[in-house]
């Protein structure tokens, strides 16, 4: 038997920057997905504790997006990218909430790729699983989720440069805690304007060149007001990631919190928030012990993430879950 475990991820700052090769600061969390399999046969057959129907995927699957039941598409995406020569039979268990913005699908895919024997380094497994997710969901996601899940380090935030795929380890100071509070709105990137935002950024880049290297001066020269706002979010968000890392290194937690809170950029310039999320962010910001809060991941619902004083019992006032920065994917042979 082979058992692989992969974490979920939460992003502290740097959203909608990965697919223009920008900067992000996620961490792998202590909730995740376990895939336990025996390698045998000519299909990948998995039962999940959260799904009524099992996933049965032939090794020569061509169109992961057409597979039923829908959760099996994520399995099919990995099989289509990895092309294992032997099948597998086993189980999937998870303690990650689905559709909460904690990357439950990437967690499943990275665990499965490792369980089926993929042994490339973290950027390689992340790239494989990014393609697998794109094929499964039909959404052109970036690489942040898969790379955070593959490269997680116990106790650390991951300062990722999505251009070079270099991951710098930034230990979370012991006097800080990361808390996630669910907005109550489930989301799915397939039903949000994620693909539109990505296309808008690509159109801007055709006009002014890579957003990663664009200045605010150049952004101001963009004539279309919507395109200008989208570009302004990306350029200022990359700068906020750098400033946030510096603030943490210098224990300027109030400054770090303020940088997170500038979520009017995600709300107004990038238009990926919702009133429910905005209200929760405002409620968290007004809570003693919270330095800053913001939507995280794709937006339109899911978890709101808060940077908190580790000594304050923020959960007593607002609920939510305290996430501990976790190691990335692990794999072990349990018998046989
Ligand atoms: C989703 C995508 C990521 C990233 C975030 C926004 O989680 O899967 O690649 O683009 O949205 O930061």
The one catalytic residue among 121, 145, 161, 255: 145
Asked whether 144 lines ligand 1 (CB < 6 A), one says yes
Asked whether 145 lines ligand 1 (CB < 6 A), one says yes
Per-domain boundaries in the chain: 2-171+325-333, 176-323
Instruction: Read off the pLDDT band of 317 (50, 70, 90).
Output: confident
- Count the neighbouring beta carbons within 10 Å of the beta carbon of residue 216: 11
Nearest atom, ligand 1, residue 194 CA = 11
Residue 263's pLDDT is what? 63
**DSSP 8-class letter at 265:** I
- Integer Cα distance of 291 and 13 in angstroms: 13
CATH of 176-323, one of 3.40.50.720, 3.30.70.890, 3.10.450.710, 3.40.50.970: 3.30.70.890
- In the residue annotation, 255 being an active-site residue is answered as no
> CB burial class (10 A; 0-12, 13-18, 19+) of residue 300?
buried
Asked whether 298 lines ligand 1 (CB < 6 A), one says yes
Does residue 326 contact residue 300 with C-beta atoms inside 8 Å?
A: no
Mean pLDDT confidence for 3-12: 98
Nearest by Cα to 178 from 314, 273, 74, 274:
314
Nearest atom, ligand 1, residue 144 CA = 9
Residue 159 backbone phi and psi in degrees, to 5 = -90, 100
The mean predicted confidence, pLDDT, of the chain is 96
Q: What is the DSSP string of 87-119?
A: -EEEEEEE-SPTTSSS-HHHHHHHHHHHHTT--
**DSSP 8-class letter at 266:** I
CA 270 to chain centre: 18
- Integer Cα distance of 69 and 38 in angstroms: 22
Residue 108's pLDDT is what? 98
Asked whether 18 lines ligand 1 (CB < 6 A), one says yes
Instruction: Read off the pLDDT band of 336 (50, 70, 90).
Output: low
Asked whether 142 lines ligand 1 (CB < 6 A), one says yes
Residue 183's pLDDT is what? 92
Give the tens place of pLDDT for each residue, 150-191: 999 999 999 999 999 999 999 999 999 999 999 988 877 777
Give the tens place of pLDDT for each residue, 29-87: 999 999 999 999 999 999 998 899 999 999 999 999 999 999 999 999 999 999 999 99
Distances (CA, A) of 167 to 146, 154, 164, 178, 221: 12, 14, 9, 20, 33
2-171+325-333 folds as: Ribosomal Protein S5; domain 2 (3.30.230)
Give the tens place of pLDDT for each residue, 193-219: 999 999 999 999 999 999 999 999 999
For ligand 1, atom 1: residue with the closest CA:
298
Length of the chain equals 336
- pTM score > 0.85 for this model? yes
Residue 185's pLDDT is what? 86
Residue 186's pLDDT is what? 82
* Preceding omega of 210 cis (within 30 degrees of 0): no
CA of 333 to the centre of ligand 1 (A): 32
CA of 102 to the centre of ligand 1 (A): 10
Asked whether 74 lines ligand 1 (CB < 6 A), one says no
């Amino acid at each position: 038997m082979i058992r692989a475990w992969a974490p979920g991820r939460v992003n502290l700052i740097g959203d909608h920057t990965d697919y223009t090769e920008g900067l992000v600061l996620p961490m792998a969390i202590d909730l995740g997905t376990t895939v336990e399999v025996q390698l045998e046969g000519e299909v990948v057959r998995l039962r999940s504790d959260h799904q009524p129907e099992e996933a049965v995927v032939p090794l020569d699957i061509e169109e992961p997006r057409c597979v039923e039941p829908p959760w099996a598409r994520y399995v099919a995406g990995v099989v289509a990218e990895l092309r294992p020569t032997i099948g597998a039979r086993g189980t999937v268990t998870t303690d990650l909430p689905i559709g909460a913005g904690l990357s439950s699908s990437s967690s499943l895919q990275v665990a499965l790729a490792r369980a089926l024997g993929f042994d490339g380094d973290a950027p390689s497994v992340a790239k494989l699983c990014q393609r697998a997710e794109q094929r499964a969901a039909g959404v052109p996601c970036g690489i942040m989720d898969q790379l955070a899940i593959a490269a997680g380090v116990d106790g650390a935030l991951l300062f990722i440069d999505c251009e070079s795929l270099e991951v710098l380890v930034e230990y979370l100071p012991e006097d800080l805690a990361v808390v996630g509070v669910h907005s109550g709105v489930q989301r799915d990137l397939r039903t949000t304007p994620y693909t539109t935002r990505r296309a808008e950024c690509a159109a801007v880049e055709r006009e002014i060149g890579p957003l990663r290297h664009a200045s605010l001066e150049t952004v101001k020269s963009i004539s279309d007001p919507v395109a200008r706002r989208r570009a302004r979010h990306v350029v200022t968000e990359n700068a906020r990631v750098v400033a946030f890392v510096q603030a943490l290194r210098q224990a300027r937690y109030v400054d770090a919190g303020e940088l997170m809170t500038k979520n009017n950029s995600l709300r107004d310039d990038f238009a990926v928030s919702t009133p429910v999320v905005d209200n929760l962010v405002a409620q968290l910001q007004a809570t003693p012990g919270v330095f800053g809060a913001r939507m995280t991941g794709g937006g339109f619902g899911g978890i709101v993430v808060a940077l908190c004083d580790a000594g304050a019992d923020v959960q007593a006032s607002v609920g939510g879950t305290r996430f501990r920065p976790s190691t990335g994917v692990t794999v072990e042979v349990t018998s046989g």
